[in-house]
Chain A
Amino acid sequence: MNHPLLKLFSRRELVRGLGALAGATGAAALGLAQNNAPAEHSGGSGHAAAATVAAKGMSAADHGSNVVMGVVDPETNGFDPMQMLVDWDYGKVSKLPGGQTLREYEFVASEKEIEIAPGIFFPAWTYNGRVPGPSIRCTEGDRLRVKLVNGSSHPHTIHFHGFHPANMDGTPLPGNGGLVQPGDSYTYEFDAVPFGCHKYHCHAASLKRHIHKGMYGAFVVDPKGGRPPAREFMMVMNAFDTNFDGGNEVYAVNTVGFEFAHRPVPIRRGELVRIYLMNLVEFDLLNSFHTHGIMFDYYDHGTTLEPTLRTVDTVAQMQGQRGIVEFRAPYTGPFMFHAHVSEFAELGWMGHFNVVEEAGWAEALSRVGLTAEWDKRGLDGATVAWKGGETA
């Protein structure tokens, strides 16, 4: 083994030989990148560690640099993932002669380029210019009247999940309402039953393309007796196949990858948090939701008042599945929430909760550009007040 050639061709030898020389350069490069990383990102403990490593000279790399460069300005898209957590759409409310509540909506289908990660633009198909579409919120038994106006160049539908007559199903099947051609409109009218965490999406063919291009949204039906008061969020797990190769390049909650890693979602320690969670990711069979330092109860489809899973920290949702997550965070500090499909997490489905005491609440809101209005909407989302009974 003393032959010089054998030495030369031992790659281990080479790596070892150059290791010393490499240290300084590595540290310099990492230091540079740290300076370039978005300022908000220094919040997580992992990133503080990265800075320390960079200062010492890099011996063991960490995962602190798994970020996108830059941020998406909500002005660009005309919608803000953070606001989408709480921006329930109750429709135009009136009473029918029989006393039933009528909620009227108008959805305009349109084509729109949206920024799904800093600098990456996606040619989306939208309801009302946003992805996900408006978050419908109503009470069990309300009459819904949703008019779809097709302002785009492809036929579309709205297919609601839940009970409804065949002609309100919104598919191309004869007797299902049919495709709404460009320039045409169609009004879907049905009673909102059963209560639960539902969704709607376009059912035109090709189904995969119409869904992953962005035509979906939340459809939440409150039980008549309400649910215990809580801070409520609407989270749609979605993804985008930017090069149209049948696999997603960007994963997110409410469309913008890493948005909640840049802007941690504020919650108060100990308060009840309820998340209406749905998976609209195409191409991948499963998605998941995982919380750090927090265990939650889960109501699959949200169609029960009793949890279907108790005290878990990870739940899987297949394509189209959804449910309600409920928890109280016992400790303050930054806590990650993300897909426990690590690939999705590293491709954008990564967020942080910023759990604070009452004293730190105002600061937690202002740090991510939120106002008291956002706070209020999060607490007052329900269409019906809790009428007592079992508390969560």
Chain B
Amino acid sequence: MTREPESKENRWGGFGWVLALIPLLLLGLVLAYLVATGGGLRELAGPPLERVKIERITLPAPGVIRLEVVNDGPQEVTIPQVLVDDAYWAYTVTPSNTLPRLGRATFTIPYPWVAEETHRVVLITSLGATFEGEIAAAVVSPRPDASLFGRFALVGLYVGIVPVLLGMLWYPWMRRLSRPAMNFILSLTVGLLVFLAVGTYLDANEFAAQLPAFWQGVPAVIFVALIALGALLALGARQRGEVGALELSYRIALGIGLHNLGEGLAIGAAFALGEAALGTFLVLGFTLHNITEGVGIAAPVVRKSPGLGHFALLCLVAGGPAILGVWIGGFAFSPVLATVFLAVGIGAILQVVWEVGRLVARDSAALGQPLVNWVNLAGLTAGIAVMYLTAFLVKF
């Protein structure tokens, strides 16, 4: 390098960082000018645009409706009146019914709602714009008491832990499989992971669509997923050579765990919103749907003997988050958290698709076969098909 930059550096005598502040100072001036004078754009100012979002509706008790409202419009909004089922209704509000941009308020409405029936709430702004929310089927929102905590945990157990555990019980059988047959099982694992990645992406977008606009939910899902994928790949690349078989199992378990967290959230939230046409049938469906997850987690370690302790832990990592998900979804649902969890899940699943895919590639090469051969393709297809067909039980 030349010496010139050095000499310039010297001229500022160690205060070179001041140069970095100049654009910021000028930016401050421009902003101040725009705010103070309108910057000659006053004539471009359109009519006021009011937008609020009813983020969450809960029914804390019979005869009470609670709305959590966020202002995701470009300016302050006042909500002078509230309607329930096309009737103006008295309410209390904290902290205020005037919401600054990005501000929040909680409206409590003493309304004699009718159990298991549908109600509609409307917020009306000072300019007469209306914003709607629906209570699909009114039930008292679940409260975290010991009994319900336990019952929710039971749902998570059936949806998460049980199927993973049952799937893992194929492990002794898998150990007896020939190498080509094992490649089929690993391809099947890739198939089910691809299905989960797509499903998790769609679920994440469903939650993202409920978010106030400023969160930019849909792109945020993609970016969080990419960052999670990148971070996990970088973590994997730190070690020389291949990721260890047991570590790969843990990574699969982690990805599946995040996916199951999402499933738990959805179940818990649906239950809290009274939308749960949930019955034993749906739980049964999830149990069946998730059973191949156990196969996927156990597949990388068929040539090892990790011991029961590791299997128990793997099962907990993959299935346990379902319990957590039902709790969060049922008691303290937040579409923001749900979106973030699911987006991380996408990244985690994509990363294990990559790792297991490499395993299949290596084993195929060892057998002198191309990566895409009929056995592998059949495995992949079988993985997707099993997930797709068992999903018939849980999609309505």
**Interface residues in chain A, defined as those with a beta carbon under 8 Å from any beta carbon in chain B:** 3-9, 11-12, 14-15, 17-19, 21-23, 25-26, 29-30, 32-34, 36-37, 58, 60-63, 65-70, 117-122, 240, 242-243, 245, 249, 257-258, 343, 346-348
Q: Give the residues in chain B near A14, CB-CB below 8 Å.
A: 139-140, 142, 148
Q: Give the residues in chain B near A29, CB-CB below 8 Å.
A: 60-61, 63-64, 92, 108, 110
Shortest distance between the CB of A34 and any CB in chain B (Å)? 8
- The interface centre, meaning the residue of B78, B81, B126, B151 with most chain A CB atoms within 10 A of its CB, is B81
Shortest distance between the CB of A31 and any CB in chain B (Å)? 9
Query: Is B115's beta carbon under 8 Å from chain A?
Result: yes
Do A5 and B283 touch (CB < 8 A)? yes
- The interface centre, meaning the residue of B64, B158, B279 with most chain A CB atoms within 10 A of its CB, is B64
Do A33 and B280 touch (CB < 8 A)? no
Shortest distance between the CB of B115 and any CB in chain A (Å)? 5
Q: Give the residues in chain A near B125, CB-CB below 8 Å.
A: 120
Closest to B116 in A: A11
The one of A5, A58, A122, A242 in contact with B154, judged by C-beta atoms closer than 8 angstroms, is: A5
The one of B81, B89, B128, B137 in contact with A243, judged by C-beta atoms closer than 8 angstroms, is: B128
Do B280 and A9 touch (CB < 8 A)? yes
Q: Count residues of chain B with CB under 8 A from any CB of chain A.
A: 49
Do B158 and A26 touch (CB < 8 A)? no
Shortest distance between the CB of A131 and any CB in chain B (Å)? 14
Query: Is B176's beta carbon under 8 Å from chain A?
Result: no
Query: Is B174's beta carbon under 8 Å from chain A?
Result: no
Please judge, given known A-B contacts A21-B143, A65-B90, whether A60 and B112 are in contact too, CB under 8 Å.
yes
Please judge, given known A-B contacts A58-B63, A61-B63, A68-B88, whether A8 and B80 are in contact too, CB under 8 Å.
no
Q: Give the residues in chain A near B151, CB-CB below 8 Å.
A: 4, 7-8
Do A119 and B126 touch (CB < 8 A)? yes
Do B86 and A346 touch (CB < 8 A)? yes
Q: Give the residues in chain B near A11, CB-CB below 8 Å.
A: 115-116, 137, 139, 274, 276
Query: Is B145's beta carbon under 8 Å from chain A?
Result: yes
Q: Give the residues in chain B near A257, CB-CB below 8 Å.
A: 88
Q: Give the residues in chain A near B283, CB-CB below 8 Å.
A: 5
Shortest distance between the CB of A48 and any CB in chain B (Å)? 15
The one of A3, A30, A245 in contact with B110, judged by C-beta atoms closer than 8 angstroms, is: A30
Q: Give the residues in chain A near B129, CB-CB below 8 Å.
A: 242-243
CA distance A6 to B127 in the complex (A): 48
**Interface residues in chain B, defined as those with a beta carbon under 8 Å from any beta carbon in chain A:** 60-64, 78, 80-83, 86-92, 108-112, 115-116, 124-130, 137, 139-140, 142-143, 145, 147-148, 151, 154-155, 158, 274, 276, 278-280, 283
- The interface centre, meaning the residue of A30, A257, A258 with most chain B CB atoms within 10 A of its CB, is A30
Q: Give the residues in chain B near A26, CB-CB below 8 Å.
A: 61-64, 110
Q: Give the residues in chain B near A70, CB-CB below 8 Å.
A: 80
Shortest distance between the CB of B105 and any CB in chain A (Å)? 14
Closest to A19 in B: B62
Q: Give the residues in chain B near A65, CB-CB below 8 Å.
A: 89-90, 109-111
CA distance A33 to B279 in the complex (A): 37
Q: Give the residues in chain B near A33, CB-CB below 8 Å.
A: 90-92, 108-110
Closest to A66 in B: B87
Shortest distance between the CB of B390 and any CB in chain A (Å)? 19
CA distance A8 to B88 in the complex (A): 35
Q: Give the residues in chain A near B63, CB-CB below 8 Å.
A: 26, 29-30, 58, 61
Can you add 6 more A-B contacts, CB < 8 Å, to A12-B115, A118-B81? A11-B274, A29-B63, A32-B108, A67-B88, A67-B89, A258-B88
Do A6 and B280 touch (CB < 8 A)? yes
CA distance A301 to B82 in the complex (A): 37
Do A4 and B128 touch (CB < 8 A)? no
Do A242 and B91 touch (CB < 8 A)? no
Q: Which 3 A-B pairs have the closest CB atoms?
A: A119-B80, A242-B128, A61-B112
CA distance A63 to B113 in the complex (A): 11
The one of A12, A18, A121, A346 in contact with B128, judged by C-beta atoms closer than 8 angstroms, is: A121
Closest to A14 in B: B139
Do B88 and A117 touch (CB < 8 A)? yes
Closest to A241 in B: B128
Q: Give the residues in chain A near B90, CB-CB below 8 Å.
A: 33-34, 36-37, 65-67, 69
Do A120 and B61 touch (CB < 8 A)? no
Do A15 and B115 touch (CB < 8 A)? yes
Closest to B145 in A: A21
Closest to A26 in B: B61
Do A4 and B111 touch (CB < 8 A)? no
Do B64 and A118 touch (CB < 8 A)? no
Do A62 and B80 touch (CB < 8 A)? no
Shortest distance between the CB of B193 and any CB in chain A (Å)? 29
CA distance A51 to B172 in the complex (A): 69
21 A-B pairs with CB atoms under 8 Å apart are A5-B155, A11-B274, A12-B115, A12-B116, A15-B115, A18-B142, A21-B61, A21-B143, A22-B60, A22-B64, A25-B64, A32-B108, A33-B90, A33-B110, A58-B61, A69-B82, A119-B81, A242-B127, A242-B128, A245-B130, A347-B86
Do B88 and A119 touch (CB < 8 A)? no
Please judge, given known A-B contacts A60-B112, A242-B130, whether A18 and B143 are in contact too, CB under 8 Å.
yes
Do A5 and B158 touch (CB < 8 A)? yes
The one of A18, A21, A347 in contact with B88, judged by C-beta atoms closer than 8 angstroms, is: A347
CA distance A23 to B62 in the complex (A): 7
CA distance A3 to B154 in the complex (A): 12
Do A121 and B126 touch (CB < 8 A)? yes
Shortest distance between the CB of A261 and any CB in chain B (Å)? 10
- The interface centre, meaning the residue of A25, A70, A122, A257 with most chain B CB atoms within 10 A of its CB, is A25
CA distance A105 to B130 in the complex (A): 39
Shortest distance between the CB of B80 and any CB in chain A (Å)? 2
CA distance A19 to B115 in the complex (A): 11
Do A25 and B60 touch (CB < 8 A)? yes
Do B112 and A69 touch (CB < 8 A)? no
Shortest distance between the CB of B89 and any CB in chain A (Å)? 6
CA distance A12 to B115 in the complex (A): 8
Closest to A29 in B: B64
Do B64 and A4 touch (CB < 8 A)? no
CA distance A15 to B78 in the complex (A): 34
